[in-house]
Amino acid sequence: MATRWGIISAGLISSDFVSAMQVLPKEEHQVVAVAARSLQDAKNFAAKFDIEKAYGSYSEVANDPNVDVVYIGTIQTYHLPVATEMLKAGKAVLCEKPLCMNVRETRQLIQTAQECGVFFMEVRLTKMVGRESGFHYVSNVSFLLLHQNVIETV
In angstroms, the CA 96 to CA 101 distance is 12
Asked if residue 22 is part of any domain, the answer here is yes
Give the CATH number of the domain where residue 88 resides. 3.40.50.720
To 10 degrees, what angle do helices 12-21 and 132-147 make?
A: 80
User: Does residue 126 carry a pLDDT above 90?
Assistant: no
User: Does residue 153 carry a pLDDT above 70?
Assistant: no
Query: Which pLDDT score, from 0 to 100, does residue 44 have?
Result: 98
Q: What is the pTM of this model?
A: 0.82
Asked if residue 151 is part of any domain, the answer here is no
Check if the beta carbon of residue 8 is closer than 8 Å to that of residue 82: yes
Q: Over the stretch 47-98, which tens digit does the pLDDT of each residue have?
A: 999 999 999 999 999 999 999 999 999 999 999 999 999 999 999 999 998 8
Range of the structural domain that residue 55 is part of: 3-127
Asked if residue 12 is part of any domain, the answer here is yes
Asked if residue 140 is part of any domain, the answer here is no
Of 105, 20, 37, which is closest to residue 74 (Cα–Cα)?
37
| Angle in degrees, CA 98, 99, 105, rounded to 5 | 125
Asked if residue 83 is part of any domain, the answer here is yes
User: Does residue 39 carry a pLDDT above 50?
Assistant: yes
The count of structural domains within the chain is: 1
